[in-house]
Amino acid sequence: MARKSADGDEEKVSLEHLLKDSKNPLILGHQNADPDAVCSMIAFARLYKTLNPDGTPQLAADDTSRLSNQVLRIFEPEMKVSRTPESGHDLLILLDTNSRFQLGPTLQNITENPSKTIVIDHHEPNPKIDQIAEHQIVREDKSSTCEIMVKIYSDLGVKIDANTANLLLTGMIFDTRRFFYADSETLAAAIELIEAGAEYEKCVRSLLIRPDRSERIARLKAAGRVKVHLIGDWILATSKINAYEASACRGLIDLGADVAIVGGSPAKDIVRFSSRSTRDFFEKTGVSLGSDVMEQLGQIIEGEGGGHANAAGANGKKNFEKAMSRSVELIKGAVEEKTSSDGSST
């Protein structure tokens, strides 16, 4: 594991050592924890208990997604993910997130001791990560945190039990969109999990869910309020909705947009943006929604933004309208800048 020491040199610190030294680690996932977050959190708790049978790990997230709750009901009905963890933990582990902001309002101030914080994640690196955690396992090339967990189990020589294998495979299936995003290592990890007892069909089925009524209404309303912006041949769709912004973005992409940006201000001093783009858009333009759009938007709304190239968001407090029109300019500017410099055109 990479650990940055004071003079900037990287040194190896054993994950095993950190876990064996901890009596009560707190294992955190991002806000509205998705199946990749929840499943990697439980797998991490199991790994910890194997190394430290007397320890008491606690799991926490600022809410878990509806789909995660279904996965938990199927595979781990007894498992508790707290929204209000106890204080006094001697080790923090952040899974499937690398920024304080993504922990959500109730948990973002919890990370205070970088020397006692581990980040395990596959998102675009957060430039301020050193302020949060000295111990980092960040693999942007991996399509899920659960896949990173498979590697960690094997590195530490811990056998994966059948139920943990089900969880890790479910998290991988979710984040890879049923192996749409996968390389040979991803598929090898999946086979390893099936050989450890994971039931592939049961995992796939655990992720089948129809959006609930309010989410479908939000998607339809967002579609009804859509504005279409043409940038060369690309179609950017923007809309406003105060709930299910990410789902509304996916809906607009399904309807035919190359890029979707949906924002809302569900309450005074709360401004949120979500964005999605097709893989084709990113491959042909090189425009990353995380670094080219949402990081700047985060500043405008007096909060923070970031994420993946194809899926990113921002949370803040102010300037909703300004940020909405700025988002269109940012995309336009980034497309023009990046596609003119390499000679290709849209």
**Pick 93 or 324: Cβ nearer Mn ion:** 93
Question: Which has the closest alpha carbon to 109: 96, 121, 100, 99?
Answer: 100
Q: Report if residue 258 touches Mn ion, rule: CB under 5 A.
A: no
Which range, of 172-180, 197-205, 219-227, 230-238, touches Mn ion by CB under 5 A?
A: 172-180
- Token pair for residue 159? 């056998």
Question: Which has the closest alpha carbon to 312: 296, 325, 326, 333?
Answer: 296
Spatial separation of the C-alpha atoms in residues 228 and 81, rounded to whole Å: 40
Q: Report if residue 175 touches Mn ion, rule: CB under 5 A.
A: yes
Which range, of 25-33, 36-44, 124-132, 157-165, touches Mn ion by CB under 5 A?
A: 36-44
Which CB contacts under 8 angstroms, 24+ apart, belong to 316-319? 316/271, 316/272, 317/269, 317/270, 317/271, 318/269, 318/271, 319/271
**Footprint of Mn ion on 137-166 (CB under 5 A):** 145
Q: Report if residue 36 touches Mn ion, rule: CB under 5 A.
A: yes
3-state secondary structure of 139: coil
Amino acid identity of 166? N
Q: What is the 3-state secondary structure (H, E, C) of 144-170?
A: CHHHHHHHHHHHCCCCCCHHHHHHHHH
Which range, of 21-29, 83-91, 168-176, 305-313, touches Mn ion by CB under 5 A?
A: 168-176
Question: Which has the closest alpha carbon to 10: 135, 148, 142, 120?
Answer: 135
Spatial separation of the C-alpha atoms in residues 119 and 132, rounded to whole Å: 8
**In the complex, minimum distance from the CB of residue 86 to Mn ion, in angstroms, rounded to a whole number:** 26
Alpha helices in 176-294 (DSSP H): 184-195, 200-206, 213-224, 245-255, 279-285
Spatial separation of the C-alpha atoms in residues 87 and 234, rounded to whole Å: 49
**Pick 55 or 104: Cβ nearer Mn ion:** 104
**Pick 145 or 277: Cβ nearer Mn ion:** 145
**In the complex, minimum distance from the CB of residue 265 to Mn ion, in angstroms, rounded to a whole number:** 27
**In the complex, minimum distance from the CB of residue 97 to Mn ion, in angstroms, rounded to a whole number:** 8
**Pick 172 or 324: Cβ nearer Mn ion:** 172
Q: Which residue is nearest to Mn ion (CB)?
A: 36
Residue count, binding to Mn ion (CB under 5 A): 4
Residue linked to tokens 């090898």: 188
Q: 157 exposed, middle or buried (CB, 10 Å; 0-12, 13-18, 19+)?
A: exposed
**Pick 29 or 264: Cβ nearer Mn ion:** 29
**In the complex, minimum distance from the CB of residue 302 to Mn ion, in angstroms, rounded to a whole number:** 27
**Pick 136 or 145: Cβ nearer Mn ion:** 145
From residue 105 to residue 144, the character string flagging contacts with Mn ion as x (rule: CB under 5 A) and all else as - is: ----------------------------------------
**In the complex, minimum distance from the CB of residue 40 to Mn ion, in angstroms, rounded to a whole number:** 8
**In the complex, minimum distance from the CB of residue 111 to Mn ion, in angstroms, rounded to a whole number:** 18
**Pick 147 or 304: Cβ nearer Mn ion:** 147
**Pick 140 or 195: Cβ nearer Mn ion:** 140
Other residues' Cβ atoms within 10 Å of the Cβ of residue 202: 13
**In the complex, minimum distance from the CB of residue 231 to Mn ion, in angstroms, rounded to a whole number:** 29
Which residues would be at the binding site for Mn ion (CB under 5 A)?
Answer: 36, 96, 145, 175
